[in-house]
């Protein structure tokens, strides 16, 4: 069965990423076309990139990199949950992505962003990064706004439009992950 990771893209104290990722996971878990698993970067502490050889060589010197490689390699696609910090994604997510190369290749990615403008700029940056990693990004995405999708800026209350956007994103990630499987074998 197709395996999709929902990557929690922030480790900041008081973060909303886990709340948003849990909502994505609860919605995805109702599906029967793929298996969905949360991958929380808080559970995979990676120092600032400390590999002496570029990731494209696939020669990892550190056990934490080899462990991260096994996690990411075990999935067929990804949903990245990201806030927007200073018009981009988080440093911890970018660092985790940069540790690897081949493990991302020929897989699909979708995005769930949240923030004042739905993390639109963070997602655009992630799309550029994904292209270099041969990670195919889907068109549909979720852009949660603190103004309209969080009650009192704290409690996630997505409207039907966001639920529809999430289901469309999940549909596309699963379909593309399946289609790209031939390139991975």
Ordered by where they begin, the domains of the chain are 3-184 (3.40.50.360)
For residue 185, what pLDDT is reported? Answer: 84
Query: For all residues of the chain together, what is the average pLDDT?
Result: 97
Tens of pLDDT, residue by residue over 11-46, are: 999 999 999 999 999 999 999 999 999 999 999 999
Is this prediction's pTM over 0.95?
yes
Going from the C-alpha of 170 to that of each of 70, 72, 107, 177, the distances in angstroms are: 23, 18, 14, 10
Count of Cβ atoms closer than 10 Å to residue 108 Cβ: 26
The Cα–Cα gap between 102 and 100 comes to 7
Tens of pLDDT, residue by residue over 45-74, are: 999 999 999 999 999 999 999 999 999 999
The neighbouring-strand residues paired with 12 are none
Q: Provide the pLDDT confidence category of residue 81 given band limits of 50, 70 and 90.
A: very high
Q: Provide the pLDDT confidence category of residue 148 given band limits of 50, 70 and 90.
A: very high
Q: Provide the pLDDT confidence category of residue 132 given band limits of 50, 70 and 90.
A: very high
Instruction: Count the alpha carbons within 13 Å of 50 in the hemisphere toward its beta carbon.
Output: 10
Count of Cβ atoms closer than 10 Å to residue 125 Cβ: 16
The Cα–Cα gap between 25 and 175 comes to 17
- Report the share of the chain in percent with pLDDT over 90: 99
Give the 3-state secondary structure of 174-185: HHHHHHHHHHHC
């Amino acid at each position: 069965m197709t395996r999709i990771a929902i990557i929690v893209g922030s480790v900041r104290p008081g973060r909303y990423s886990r709340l948003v990722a849990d909502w994505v996971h609860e919605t995805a878990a109702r599906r029967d076309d793929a298996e969905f698993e949360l991958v929380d970067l808080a559970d995979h502490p990676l120092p600032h990139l400390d590999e002496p050889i570029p990731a494209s060589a696939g020669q990892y010197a550190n056990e934490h990199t080899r462990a991260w490689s096994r996690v990411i390699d075990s999935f067929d696609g990804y949903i990245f949950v990201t806030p927007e910090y200073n018009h981009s994604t988080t440093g911890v997510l970018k660092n985790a992505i940069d540790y690897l190369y081949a493990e991302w290749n020929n897989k699909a990615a979708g995005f769930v962003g949240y923030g004042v403008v739905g993390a639109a700029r963070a997602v655009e940056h992630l799309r550029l990064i994904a292209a270099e990693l041969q990670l195919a990004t889907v068109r549909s995405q979720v852009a949660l706004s603190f103004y309209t999708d969080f009650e009192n800026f704290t409690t996630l209350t997505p409207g039907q439009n966001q639920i529809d956007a999430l289901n469309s994103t999940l549909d596309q990630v699963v379909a593309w992950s399946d289609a790209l499987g031939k390139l991975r074998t």
